[in-house]
Structure formats: structure tokens, C-alpha cells
Structure 1
Amino acid sequence: MNSPPELNCDDAESFQALLLEMARQRSVDSLLRLIVRRLCQTSSIALARLWLIQPGDICQRCVFADECPDRSQCLHLVASDGESQSNGSRWDRLDGRFQRFPIGVRKVGHIAATGDVVEVTDISEGSPWIVRPEWATAEGIRGFVGQPLVHQSEVLGVLGVFLRSPVWPAGRSWLRIIADHAAVTIANTRALQRIEHLTQQLELENEYLKDEISSSLQFGEIVGQSAALQKVLQQVALVAPTDSNVLILGESGVGKELIARAIHQQSPRHDRPLIKVNCASIPRDLFESEFFGHTQGAFTGAVRDRVGRFELADGGTLFLDEIGEVPLEMQSKLLRVLQEGTYERIGEEQTRQADVRIVAATNRDLQEEAAEKNFREDLYYRLSVFPIEVVPLRQRVEDIPLLASHFLQTRARQIGVDQPTLKQRHVRQLMAYRWPGNIRELQNVIERAVIRSQTGPLQFDLPQTAHEAAATVSSPTPARTDALMTEEEIRRIERQNMIDVLEAHRWKISGDQGAAQFLGLHPATLSSRMRSMGIRRRTK
């Protein structure tokens, strides 16, 4: 009778080469595939498998569900290789009965729970560790070695090897060395991937920060004193401290994003990111990736893992601008996140939690869109818990002088020119125009005028109809048609309004029912403006 095969020189050289190759791997997946493939190239190993401890995912359909003591995590089969001697088929699939093992259950789960090595020295004599003895007999399996993958006292997973010979001493030592190297390499590779993930997230956060700075420079603070604007700011003050979803309605250019920022800044989430998604700019087939992220190789062009907007906004606010542009097929997935607070990246089975406050905006009538089946009615009601309507600029014309002065000052400073003088005839001209593009159009008109003022007097490039309308507007002071309107005169109304608000709130600046909350300002900003305007409470 021939003696069982022992470890030969070729196997030893193969193991040495494997250790060198393992050190060069930068991907956990490629590392795991390399280990099982190279182990099965030796003369004695029939099947090699690797399981890693990961969050539970298929608990409802897992064959070991009734035996599982803890569904928060389990062993996932992540790599497998070997060849059947009976039919020549490859054992490289990752599905099937043993794709998951509860920790502490069966031999693989026992290794993960205890960190012990399990060796079945001779299956031919029968063993309680073998679940399918008929398979072992048919394939000539004579032994099993299970090694824990341990790094800094933490069990990361299990390496299991089925042998066509009894366990050999030299092979046992090599498997221990390979398991130790695998654990270190997995830990280092995961750390590198985590660094890359954090770097990518930092790059995205910097990108969003630049967008926020750009938006701040474009529109500045919320400026105005009209009753319509004050009503909006009162609604902001009411809903901001809650976690309720908000739907901001209004025409393009009215400043819906500024209202979203005000809600975020006055909310308990103000120290976490505000992430903006312009739904109108996302290609139809990339919505899911943009919202939820994807893993490397999930689809053509997915060259690396990508963090989704929901993950990036974790703990903060997600601003979904132009929400009406989300395709119907994507709306159901968005609804699920809003209802259950969970999602998965594309190409990943792991379920992630979404701790995000949703603020959406649209210039469309979503209620009508829902009635016409162009927008999901259940999603509409989920988003519009607290609707806020921002009126167009033509319905708050009393704010135009303050807005014009504000934009003149900020744009002149940004461009690096002297601030042009705003005359009363300019104000009448601007107030006569209907502003179909709202505040965004006003800002563009003023920026254009500031640039042109370097070679001539300040002039606003408006359609002829506006000039004609301006000529018919009666002037409250005809004798001063061309009189200059100074910054102090423009701000006088604002100063008086601030005094009236302070007196109405009994000079309470911060906190609930304070003047700062009513004006939609940070208390420090209001105090600063009071000092700059020389506003002090009169002492009796």
C-alpha cells in the first residue's frame, strides 16, 4: 500500500512564492483569490476556502438561520478554489449551502468564535466535523485543517483546507504562516482602502465646500424686508429645529437654495455637512450611483468605490434640488430610503443606514405631476411634510432697492472696482421690470452693469418694455429725479425695520421668539449689524 503524499519540494517553493505575491497585493479580493488558487496547485490540497467576518446580509434565506446566535455579523465565503476528481468541475463558486456560517456554529464558525485551529486528522475513520461524509468519500478527502486569520488578537476570518492526504506536519506549519500573513495583508489592505475612501470623501466634501462658497458669493445672505420674505423666514424658524422633510416651492432663481441653507444652519445638524444634489444635471442611468454610491467593478466605468450623496450627508442635510427631475423608476428607491432609512451601494449586499434630513426643492407643481402619474404620489407626500413657497421677485418689489444695493456692493468688491452710485431713476427702472428670472436675473443684470461702469455711467441692460414701464411709474419726489441715493439712505429703511423688530421682541436678540430668529439671522450677525448701524436700546 502506498503511503500518503507528504509535502514535496515543489509545494514548499510554491508556498514561498505565494508569500511574496501576497505582500504585493493592494486589493483584498485579489489577495483572497490568489491564496486559494495557489494553495490548490499543491499536490495534497483538494479544496481551499476563505471566509471573512462581515455584517449579516442574507439572514432570512440562510440555511443556518435557525442556528444563528447573532445576526449582526457572520462568516461570508469570499474565495474558493479546487477541482473535483470525480467529474473535473471547479469549486470556485461563492454561493450554495456554505456561503455563510454563523459565528460559533459548525467547525468554521467554531474557529471564528474561539480562534482555535481545528484539524481533522483522518476523515476515513469518521468525524463529527464532516457534514457531508459521502462527498468526502467520493472525492478522496482524508483530512481538514482550519486556521483562524488573526490580526492583533482580532479574528478576521477562517482559512479552511480539505486534503487528499492526512494532515502533514510541514504543511500544517506552512498553513499557519500563510494564515498569519493573510490576516496582516487583509488588515493592511483594508486600512489602505479606508484611507483611500476617506481621501475620496474629503475630496468630495471639499468640492461641495467650494460649491457652498460659490453659492454664498453668488447670492450672499438673505436680503429683504418685505412681508412675503418675512413670512418665509418665520416658516424657516419653525421647521428648522425639527427633523421633518421640507419641500421648497418656487420659480427658478427665487433663492430656494438659500432657504435650504437657512434651514440647515438653524437646525441641530448645522455642524454636519449640507450636501446638494442637482437632480436635473444627473444622467438618467447614474441616479442610483449618485445617490447611493457603487463598488469597484459594479458596472462598466466603475474603476473604484464611490461614496454616494446619502453617505456623504450622514448626520447632516441632503438638499435635493429640482426633485421633479428624478425618473419614476428611481423614485421608488428614493422612497424606500425615506421610509426605512436604509440603502445599498450598487454591487454590494451590505445594507447601510441613512441618518439624513431631506430638504427638496422644485419649480414644478408636483401635486399636479402626481395626479398625471408623472411623479409618485406617495413620494410627494413623504417629501412635502412642511412645504414652503418662495414668492417671485415681482411680488416683493419693495426688496429690490436693498437687493440692488447689496449686489452692487458685493460685485464691485469681487471684481475690484469702485462701487457705482445707485440713483433713484435706477431703482424705479429696476422696480418696474417684472424679473422673469427673479433674483438670479437681478444679480446677473447688476454684475453686467458693474463691469460696464468702468468705462461709463451705471446703466442697466433691461428689455425695452421695462424702460417704457419705468417712464409711466409716478415718482414720489419728481423734483429729485436724478438725485443721488446714498448707501445710508438705502439702509435707512433697513435700520428702522430692525429697530421695530427689536422693540416688538422687547429687545430679545437670541433664542426662541427672539429678533434674530424672526429676521432669519444668526444672533451674532444681528448683534454685529446693530453695532455697525449704531442701534442701542434706549435706557429709561
Structure 2
Amino acid sequence: MLLSTVELFLPIVLAITLLYLLSMNMDNAFHFNNDAVQSLLLEMGQQRTTKSLFDLVVSKLSQFKHISLVRIWLKAKGDVCSECLVADECYDKNSCLHLVASAGKSIYNDSEDWSRINGAHKRFPLGARKVGHIAATGEPVVVPSIEEDSKWIAHPEWAKKEGIKGFAGQPMLFQGEVLGVLAVFTLSELTPQVLDVLRIIANHAASTLANAEAFEKISQLKKQLEGENEFLRKELSNTSSYGRFIGKSAALQHVFKQIELVAATDANVLILGESGTGKELVAREVHARSQRKNKPLIKVNCASISRELFASEFFGHTRGAFTGAVSHREGLFAAAHTGTLFLDEIGEIPIEYQAQLLRVLQEREYQRVGEEQTRTVDTRIIAATNKNLHLEIEKGNFREDLYFRLNVFPIVVPPLRERPEDIEPLANYFLARCLENMNRPSRQFSSEHIQQLMEYRWPGNVRELQNIVERFAISSNAESNHLELPNASGALQEKNASSDVSHNHERLFTEQEVKQLQIENTKRALERCNWKIYGPNGAAELLGIKATTLATRIKKYNLAK
């Protein structure tokens, strides 16, 4: 919020007027102390947050001898309409007055807490009761003597018990708009001079409130920008060497159509596919074609976040929230506000934290660790996984309601072996990029090389292809033309594409190679049976071994789907 010169000097004008009023001779029982009010005005102007401003005003005013209770309400969006005690008097249904600060002390019961802001008067509809009337009309309500005029007092017996003599409610006006209401209950009757001072304090509070809100907004934007920059720097360092889709297969064209369909909406997207198929690239394309394309795309690998730091990483934390929290931190959702949050490997989120994520997706609200304030967020979610989430739900590792919330629009990225037409253009693209980065002459793969690549099964998909091409680019030169592909054991095999020489002599395997062959053979059997171990058509039956033996082998080699 940019303030004009007049607005900037308004507090000075108010202070001068206030000093004039204070300098007037007051013989009444209740008058403000000159030095105390000057100190309050100066401190108000130094506040940079709304909370600190409100707490300062009510605490300082409540310290005056003849003031019993001070409260501040602010106009805000209605939030607890279903439990509001005066809901039947509310005609707006959109906004109301929120109690944001309270201070005072009972002379009848020392144990009463008058600083609570969640009591019976925490909300007032506009126009209802004296406080709502002030906000709706912009006019003050003053009861100089409650004994003579008690129509504005909801609980006269309370006022009598506490010795309350007067009430003054002042609208907090800024640029002609009512921002809230400042109300005081006094132990002595009110005079015109005291009311003038309260009016100036209320207007000064409104002016300072506008400044504080502007500072808070600037601080919020600064933190968000810092968070975006941090994540963007990480993204730049981790960006894949390819920046767009390469290929012409029908399977890839189908993915393009799905991206075009969903990109323009705000629907959640779940990207499914094996590791290395390019799920992150699909997420980037969805974001780039969306209305949020000029906002941040924040990526997080859910498998890399420890259980202890899950809430802090996603939602942020306040200083001192836990050991090691030496400063405030914005989380992933705050950094992705108005943009897109890409949750890679969503199936790795611990089951005990999935409810927190579900709440954000449903309510668009979250709380930072160590903070009670509820924050709202506007973020599009794109999730990705190489796991079978249906199977994870059956195992109790993934919440079904979270799955349905994420799976609004699924996109299945086909493995490279199911789109062999894309292997040649991908291989030549990666090769050109690698040679360019190494300042080597450009070249393309020969037909023999392409045949080798087409015959390979590509368990690592596009990522594996990229690695093999990079290795070829590094090792190849004018005298060498070898393309290395992993064999069944996972070890690299070297084949000379320019030579048809075959080696017919039998080869011996080392113990390590035999072990690796057993691992690869077991994994292929498990994948063929969709990791079914026991019973008919299970992997144990396919391998010709007992199911218990297979289970032991899986545990021994730490095999996982």
C-alpha cells in the first residue's frame, strides 16, 4: 500500500491536535496523562505488525487509572457463522467484526481473564449491538454515564458489579473506510475532552494499521520471493539436460493430448509411470501451459524428506518450534502459493502425515509448526509416482481418500520399450547435446547402433538411455566406435558396431556375476507376476522354488518394487 504525503504526515497532525487537547485545563476526574499518551502515539507509529499494534494499544490504555476494559475489533470475513452467538442478528453473512485484542482487569474477580479474544464477544455482525452499530454507521457510540443511559449496555448488572460508569466506542477510520472499532469501559464518567483524545487515538491506530498491513504484505512477499529463489536455484542445478519432449510415437502423442486437456484447468493431476519415463517433464509441461505459468513451479521429492521434518518442510515453522529451529521458515506450500507444487514420488509420504496433506488439499488451509494461526494457500497440486497406489492402499501404506483427491486427472507415461519409435530421435538428441557441451564435432548414431538400442529392453527408460548416450559421447573418438549396453547381469557389455566378429568360446562367471544374475532373474520373475509371490502364477512357481525361499531371497537382496 503506497501512502500519499498527506497520509504520511497525518500522525504528526493528530499528535499536535492531541497535545493541544491535553494542554487544556481539565478538572474532571478522568483525564489522560500527557506524557503517557505521547509515548503511546510514538510507539504506535513504530509498529510493523498488526498484532503488535493492537496489543500495544489495549495494554497501554488499560493501564490508565480510570479505564477498566479496552477492546479492538476488526472488520474481516465471516468464519465461524455456525457457532456465532449472535448469528440471528447477522444480515451480511460475508463479513463481521473480529475481536483481535483485549486488556483490562476485573475489580470483582481477580481470576477473570479479560485478555481472552475467544469468548462470547469474539464476533459481532455489522449493525448488531453497539459495536456492530459503530462499524456499520462509522459513527461513535458514547455513553457518558451508564447510570443515566444504559440502552447501549447489554449487561447492566455486569457494569454495576464492576463499577463501570462510562462507555466509548470509536470507529477506526482510514480514508473514509471503517477498519474496526476501539471500545473502552471506564470507571468514571466521560468528558468531551476525553472523547476527543480517544477519537484521535482510534484514527491514529487506523492509520498505523494501514501501514502495518502494508509492511506485513511486503514482508510476506519478500519471504515468498526468497523461498522461490531458493527453490529455483535448486531447480536450475538439478534441471535435466532435456527441456522438452522428443518423439513421435502414438503413445507420446496421447500424453500430449492429455496435457492439453488438463493444463488449462486447476484440477489436480496424478502422473503415473516407471522410473525414468519423464514424469517430471510432464509436470513441467502441464504447468507451462496453465494459467499459473508465470508463477512458481516448486518440486519436492517426497522420498528425500525425513519423517521428523515432514511438517516443517511442507508447512514451515516458527523460531523455537523445535530444537534447531533458529529462525522462521516458509514451507513448500507458502513458496508455491498461486503457483504449482509438484510432489514427486508421492507414494513415499509416511502414512501418518498423509492426513495433513489431505487437509491442505481439501480446505486450502494449513498451520506452520509452532504456530496456531491458520494460513490459506492457493496452490495447484501435481503428483507423480512409480508405485501401484491401489496395491499400497490394500497394504495400508496409502490413504484411499488422499488417492482420490490426487487422482482427479491421471496421466500414464508409457515406458520407453512401449514406444520404440522414439528411441532413435531421443538418442540422437542426447548425443548432439553431449557433443556440443564437450565442444566435439557433431555426429549421429549409425544404423548398427540404432539396432542395438532398439533391441534393448530399457528397464531404466529415458534416463538410462541418456546415461548410455553420455557415456558413448565421452568414450568415443575417431578410432573408437563402441556402444556399451548392460547385459542380463547389469554389467556393461561392449559391442563393436563396425565389426561382426563373434566370440564362440565359453565364458566363466565369477561368484559376483552369478549373484547378480540371480538378482536380475528374480526381479524379472517378480515383475512378470506383478510381485505376486505365493500361489498359482506366482513368482515362486515361475522360478521353481518354494515361496519361503523366494521371500528369504527378496529380504536378503533387499529387493523392492
TM-score, L = length of structure 1? 0.76
Change (3 A) 1:237 1:189: closer
> Match for residue 201 of structure 2?
178
Residues 69-468 of structure 1: pairs in structure 2 closer than 5 A? 69-89=91-111, 90-210=113-233, 217-241=240-264, 244-267=267-290, 270=293, 273-284=296-307, 287-288=310-311, 291=314, 293=315, 299-300=321-322, 301=325, 303-304=327-328, 306=330, 309=333, 312-314=336-338, 317-336=340-359, 338=361, 340=362, 342-346=364-368, 347=371, 352=376, 354=378, 357-413=380-436, 415=437, 417-419=439-441, 421-424=443-446, 426-427=449-450, 430-431=453-454, 433-448=456-471, 450=473, 463=486
> Match for residue 508 of structure 1?
none
Deviation at 1:312, TM superposition (A): 3.1
Matched residue type, 2:336: L
**CA distance, structure 2, for counterparts of residue 179 and residue 451 of structure 1:** 73
> Match for residue 526 of structure 1?
none
Tell whether 2:82 aligns with 1:60.
yes
Q: Identity over aligned residues, as a percent?
A: 49
| Aligned pair partner of 1:31 in 53, 56, 61 | 53
Cα RMSD over matched residues?
3.6
**CA distance, structure 2, for counterparts of residue 153 and residue 469 of structure 1:** 80
CA distances 1:286-329 after superposition (whole Å, capped 9, x unpaired)? 545655x4685794449547375278353x54432211123334
**CA distance, structure 1, for counterparts of residue 224 and residue 342 of structure 2:** 18
CA distances 1:145-181 after superposition (whole Å, capped 9, x unpaired)? 1111111112111111111111134432322222222
Matched residue type, 2:63: Q
Look up the SS of the partner of 1:88 in the other structure: coil
8 Å CA contact retained: 2:224, 2:334: no
Change (3 A) 1:241 1:50: closer
Matched residue type, 2:194: G
> Match for residue 49 of structure 1?
71
| Residues 83-92 or 63-72, more deviating | 83-92
**CA distance, structure 2, for counterparts of residue 186 and residue 241 of structure 1:** 39
Q: How many residues align?
A: 469
8 Å CA contact retained: 1:253, 1:441: yes
Change (3 A) 1:313 1:327: same
Matched residue type, 2:39: A
Look up the SS of the partner of 1:219 in the other structure: coil
**CA distance, structure 1, for counterparts of residue 174 and residue 326 of structure 2:** 31
> Match for residue 6 of structure 1?
30
Change (3 A) 1:433 1:151: same
Look up the SS of the partner of 1:123 in the other structure: coil
Deviation at 1:213, TM superposition (A): 5.1
**CA distance, structure 2, for counterparts of residue 375 and residue 226 of structure 1:** 33
Change (3 A) 1:92 1:229: same
8 Å CA contact retained: 1:429, 1:467: no
**CA distance, structure 2, for counterparts of residue 294 and residue 212 of structure 1:** 19
Deviation at 1:434, TM superposition (A): 4.4
Deviation at 1:192, TM superposition (A): 0.9
8 Å CA contact retained: 1:420, 1:450: no
**CA distance, structure 2, for counterparts of residue 211 and residue 228 of structure 1:** 31
Deviation at 1:341, TM superposition (A): 5.5
TM-score, L = length of structure 2? 0.73
CA distances 1:422-455 after superposition (whole Å, capped 9, x unpaired)? 5536545555554443322333444455456699
**CA distance, structure 2, for counterparts of residue 132 and residue 150 of structure 1:** 27
CA distances 1:41-93 after superposition (whole Å, capped 9, x unpaired)? 21111111111112222211111111112232211111111111123344211
